[in-house]
């Protein structure tokens, strides 16, 4: 005798990553990493959507700063250190929010220490640093952490575009005080002055965290400030709202930022939560069969 079939939905994600030097910079100081499947520690992108395991996936954007090409060194050290840290983690299928934050905070602190050490070894790289924004995405939520002014957004059909992070910058303090709007802050002449980064030997980073729920159809966007300093909140929303593939949306975001000036490097990591067709599980006296 068998029980009635039950329908099980398997979440999957489409992940896209693009970076562009912009119109005026000589080289690209942005770096990023993506792991679509933390259960297998696969740090590569696919042309096809991937099933999202209970352990989740990881997206990281770093925007470097410093002279003599040191900014790109700092951001590269940051993403590589975080990758190595997660490679060593034994990630369980079910984790408490506090544990997730500890994992991310430990990785960010290790990245900071690695940049400080690299600066001390090479005087030409003294003062180099980087921002960081991390999104650990699970089937029903995403946990974000950040230091500096690289950002995370969520777009949903119900709520539109929502900025999930608060920049660690002087002008964003004016936004929080109600003296500037977010769009005014993005074009403010002092918008590049940040109050936190990785790599300052005399100042430990203090990452902030936030968690947002995710539903099928939601889109998550991580970016360096080369995007939002060129495009308004509304302009980003209009592109993400289009019924076009995520890869096309990412390209449109970068093209639009370049059309508006392209003053800085532009990095866009985007994720869309999909849902596979239901998989019927049949339970019988001898165990679980799936068809």
- pLDDT of the residue at 67: 61
Measure the CA–CA gap between 20 and 29, rounded to whole angstroms: 10
Q: What are phi and psi of 258, to 5 degrees?
A: -70, -35
69: pLDDT strictly greater than 80: no
Q: Is residue 2 part of a domain?
A: no
Average pLDDT value for the chain: 90
Quote the Cα angle for 79-153-101, to 5°: 55
Average pLDDT over residues 274-283: 53
Q: Is residue 278 part of a domain?
A: yes
Reported as a pLDDT band with limits 50, 70 and 90, residue 68 is: low
Residue 265 tokens read as 């490097």
Reported as a pLDDT band with limits 50, 70 and 90, residue 8 is: very low
Cα separations in angstroms, 75 against 28, 106, 111, 134: 10, 17, 9, 13
Measure the CA–CA gap between 252 and 122, rounded to whole angstroms: 39
Average pLDDT over residues 105-118: 97
What is the count of structural domains for the chain?
A: 1
Q: Which residues pair with 65 in a beta bridge?
A: 129
Range(s) of the domain holding residue 100: 7-282
More confident residue, 210 or 94: 210
Q: Is residue 131 part of a domain?
A: yes
Q: Is residue 289 part of a domain?
A: no
Q: Is residue 209 part of a domain?
A: yes
- pLDDT of the residue at 66: 79
Q: Is residue 87 part of a domain?
A: yes
Q: What is the pLDDT of residues 13-35, one digit of tens each?
A: 999 999 999 999 989 999 999 99
145: pLDDT strictly greater than 50: yes
CATH code, 79: 3.60.40.10
Q: Is residue 216 part of a domain?
A: yes
């Amino acid at each position: 005798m068998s029980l009635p079939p039950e329908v099980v939905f398997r979440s999957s994600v489409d992940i896209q990553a693009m970076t562009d030097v912009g119109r005026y910079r000589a080289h690209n100081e942005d770096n990023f990493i993506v792991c679509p499947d933390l259960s297998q520690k696969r740090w590569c992108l696919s042309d096809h959507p991937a099933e999202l395991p209970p352990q989740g996936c990881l997206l990281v954007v770093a925007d470097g700063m410093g002279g003599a090409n040191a900014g790109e060194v700092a951001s590269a050290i940051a993403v590589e250190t975080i990758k190595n840290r997660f490679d060593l983690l034994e990630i369980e299928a079910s984790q408490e929010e506090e544990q997730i934050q500890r994992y991310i905070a430990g990785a960010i602190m290790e990245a900071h220490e690695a940049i400080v050490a690299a600066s001390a070894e090479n005087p030409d790289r003294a003062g180099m640093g980087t921002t960081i924004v991390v999104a650990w995405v699970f089937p029903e939520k995403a946990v974000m952490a950040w230091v500096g002014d690289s950002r995370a957004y969520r777009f949903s059909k119900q709520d539109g575009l929502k900025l999930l992070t608060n920049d660690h910058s002087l002008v964003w303090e004016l936004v929080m005080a109600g003296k500037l709007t977010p769009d005014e802050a993005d074009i403010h002449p002092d918008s590049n002055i940040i109050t936190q980064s990785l790599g300052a030997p005399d100042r430990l980073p203090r990452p902030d965290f936030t968690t947002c729920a995710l539903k099928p159809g939601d889109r998550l966007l991580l970016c360096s400030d080369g995007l939002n300093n060129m495009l308004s909140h509304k302009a980003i929303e209009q592109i993400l709202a289009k019924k076009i593939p995520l890869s096309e949306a990412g390209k449109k975001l970068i093209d639009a930022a370049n059309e508006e000036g392209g003053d800085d490097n532009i990095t866009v990591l985007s994720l869309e939560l999909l849902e596979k067709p239901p998989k019927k599980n049949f339970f019988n006296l001898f165990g679980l069969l799936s068809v």
